[in-house]
Chain A
Amino acid sequence: GIQVEQSPPDLILQEGANSTLRCNFSDSVNNLQWFHQNPWGQLINLFYIPSGTKQNGRLSATTVATERYSLLYISSSQTTDSGVYFCAVEPKAAGNKLTFGGGTRVLVKP
């Protein structure tokens, strides 16, 4: 099946810093999404972004489907950005299944 790899696995940021999270996938996809899980376990869908660039406040995401990667940018990080960020893809060869990467754990220090 498709492989989804996220990097880095862990990230420590000082409040106000910018960062980039990466998601690489091994096969063509119909769909790519980014999720955030806060320290209390709540999951939130951040972006649906099979291609192109989207922005939502201090977060933005870019997917280059032809090169099989996506980037999540966090600008001016805040402590509320802490948690785990997951990307998930829907492989073209696998119907509507969603396969997740292992996540990037982010800690933003005040």
Chain B
Amino acid sequence: EAQVTQNPRYLITVTGKKLTVTCSQNMNHEYMSWYRQDPGLGLRQIYYSMNVEVTDKGDVPEGYKVSRKEKRNFPLILESPSPNQTSLYFCASARDRRTDTQYFGPGTRLTVL
């Protein structure tokens, strides 16, 4: 089954404790992206990747890191999480950024205390 998977789905952590949210797709897509969704602020793009080893900042990259060492995986790293990073995070992938449908993962709900 074609899908985008994210892990964990739910995470409660404390300020400053490094964490990684994994994202994996099995569709051989070139494009992958991370978004966060917050009440009143809607969806905002954090980072995106046009292909392996190519990543770029979205609208809200501060406090996040990403890597794209292989096509299928695009982990989101929070080196020192803070409470303002409490949010719902979505990963997405697409065959081609310009013309193709994005497929979304189920979301990861992160709470930073």
One of B33, B59, B100 near A99 (C-beta < 8 A): B59
Contact at B56–A96, with CB atoms within 8 Å?
yes
Binds B, one of A15-23, A41-49, A64-72: A41-49
Contact at A98–B104, with CB atoms within 8 Å?
no
Contact at B33–A98, with CB atoms within 8 Å?
yes
* B43, B59, B97 interface centre (most CB from chain A within 10 Å): B43
Beyond A1-B59, A41-B107, A42-B106, is A97–B45 a contact (Cβ under 8 Å)? yes
B53: min CB distance to chain A, Å: 16
Q: Count contacts between A and B, CB distance < 8 Å.
A: 52
Interface residues contributed by chain A, number (CB under 8 Å):
22
User: Within B27-65, which residues are at the interface with A (CB < 8 Å)?
Assistant: 33, 42-45, 48, 50, 56-59
A98: min CB distance to chain B, Å: 5
Interface residues contributed by chain B, number (CB under 8 Å):
25
Question: Once the chains are docked, how many angstroms separate the CA of A96 from the CA of B94?
Answer: 13
B88 within 8 A of partner (CB): yes
B84 within 8 A of partner (CB): no
List chain A residues, Cβ under 8 A from B103: 45
List chain B residues, Cβ under 8 A from A33: 102
Nearest B-chain residue to A99, judged by Cβ:
B59
A106: min CB distance to chain B, Å: 15
Nearest B-chain residue to A103, judged by Cβ:
B42
A23: min CB distance to chain B, Å: 12
List chain A residues, Cβ under 8 A from B100: 48
Interface digits, A92-110 against B, CB 8 Å rule (1 contact, 0 not)? 0001111111110000000
Which B residues are closer than 8 A to A by beta carbons? 33, 42-45, 48, 50, 56-59, 88, 90, 92, 94, 97-104, 106-107
Which A residues are closer than 8 A to B by beta carbons? 1, 30-31, 33, 35, 41-45, 48, 86, 88, 95-103
A-B contact pairs, 16 of them (CB 8 A): A1-B59, A35-B43, A42-B106, A45-B104, A48-B99, A48-B100, A96-B97, A97-B48, A97-B56, A97-B57, A97-B58, A98-B33, A98-B45, A98-B48, A100-B42, A102-B42
